[in-house]
Amino acid sequence: MRRGLGALAAVAALAVVTAFVGPRSTSSKPLPRAHLATKLGFSDTAETVMGTLVEPPSPRFLSRIRNGKMGGVVFLRNGWLTRGTAAAVTAELQRAACTRGEPLLIAVDQEGGMVRRLPWAPPTEAPAYMSSPSAAHAQASGTAAALKSVGIDVDFAPVVDTPSSSRNFLGSRAFSRSRSWNAQLARAFVTGLQTGGIAATAKHFPGLGLAGGNTDHGRIVIGAAAWKLRQGLLPFKSAIAAGVRLVMVSTALYPTLDPAAKPAAFSSAIINGVLRGQLGFEGVTVTDSLTAPAADRIPHTATRAMLAGSDLLIFGAESASERGYATLVHDASSSPRLHARLTQAAARIRALKAWLAGHDGPACTLP
């Protein structure tokens, strides 16, 4: 997993001629991805780990990018990203990444309502107040245009869970309490984002509609019968049929879907059995925050999630992201199984990056 001196020399040599080209630029020829992988010796481990920002990046953070220790960045915390700040920060991040020749995924939770990292950007309505599929599509289209204008390429939205009661913690983040209605709006929102070149994310698989609390605040066990949980999969099926590029897997426990009672992001039975095997999803699986209580208590958190089928790992704090990367590097050195999983996950993530580049997304290019 470590790059040798030859690979490091290649990085240094290419750094002076490699540049970040943002959305819609056609001035330079993209360096072929296969050539980059050979030339620079990219770390599959790095591709699977997202750094976390709640403020403009520090020199240490940018150094971590240049040294190939993350494949993406997620912006957390509402409000700090003005339009000008967002554009400047994403450009700075991509310039740092392109010293290695590989653009970052840059993601944000832009659901609308209470979860709206960019207060100046759509959705202007919370999901619960989107009155029709056409309204959801229009909100998503506006969101895509706003995100693309500042260099963000992944939206961790829409929430497609179906709450079982008005007391569910998701509140207005969910479209409604009707599975069939949510399926229609999920398809519309996903299509609106992705037609605009932004990768959508259906979350939180296999559903938090029956949760008794927020997984960010405690260990949540959803003990409903398997048949009842499977009813809640309808909106996920709709999003997958619409071509959603990512599915976020929750950190709640579902004992009737996995008798081992592992959080979903650590459950091969749920990820590979239900999501990929039964629903046919072929895109990128992304974890909900691995600093959530149920996840954080699991030893070798990043490794266990990766081995279970989670491709892209996100954390609630940058220090946890750094530890996650270090854990994967350490564990992969003695685990052929983990090494193979990292290769598989990185291939899916690079395919996502290629899809984004084909929709006027970021690319590292040679003049």
Average confidence (pLDDT) per 10 residues, the chain, 367 residues: 33 37 42 38 84 96 95 93 95 95 95 94 97 98 98 98 94 97 98 98 97 90 96 98 98 96 96 98 97 92 98 95 95 95 97 96 78
Look up the pTM and report it: 0.89
pLDDT for the residue numbered 43 = 86
Measured CA distances, 297 to 29, 33, 89, 247, 303 (Å)? 46, 37, 33, 23, 13
Q: Which of 217, 258, 311, 330 is catalytic?
A: 217
Residue 32 domain-assigned? no
Residue 55 domain-assigned? yes
* Vertex 109: Cα angle to 105 and 111 (nearest 5): 135
* CATH number of domain containing 268: 3.20.20.300
pLDDT for the residue numbered 6 = 35
Q: Which of 44, 161, 288, 331 is catalytic?
A: 288
Query: Would you call 288 a catalytic residue per the annotation?
Result: yes
Pure H helices in the chain: 5-15, 33-40, 44-47, 59-66, 83-97, 133-149, 179-195, 226-231, 234-241, 268, 293-296, 301-308, 318-332, 336-357
Residue 271 domain-assigned? yes
Label the pairing between strands 154-155 and 105-108. Answer: parallel
Domain count, the chain: 1
pLDDT for the residue numbered 78 = 86
Alpha carbons 198 and 356: distance in angstroms, whole number: 7
pLDDT for the residue numbered 15 = 36
Residue 361 domain-assigned? no
Residue 367 domain-assigned? no
Residue 228 domain-assigned? yes
Residues 137/192, Cβ–Cβ less than 8 Å: yes
Alpha carbons 345 and 14: distance in angstroms, whole number: 26
Residue 366 domain-assigned? no
Centre a 10 Å sphere on the Cβ of residue 57 and count the other Cβ atoms it contains. 18
Query: Would you call 217 a catalytic residue per the annotation?
Result: yes
The pair phi, psi for residue 34, each rounded to 5°, is -65, -40
* Vertex 148: Cα angle to 126 and 237 (nearest 5): 55
Alpha carbons 75 and 124: distance in angstroms, whole number: 19
pLDDT for the residue numbered 24 = 41
Q: What is the CA radius of gyration of the chain?
A: 19
Residue 281 domain-assigned? yes
Alpha carbons 25 and 363: distance in angstroms, whole number: 9
The pair phi, psi for residue 365, each rounded to 5°, is -135, 160
Task: Give the residue numbers spanning the domain of 336.
Answer: 43-356
The pair phi, psi for residue 298, each rounded to 5°, is -85, 125
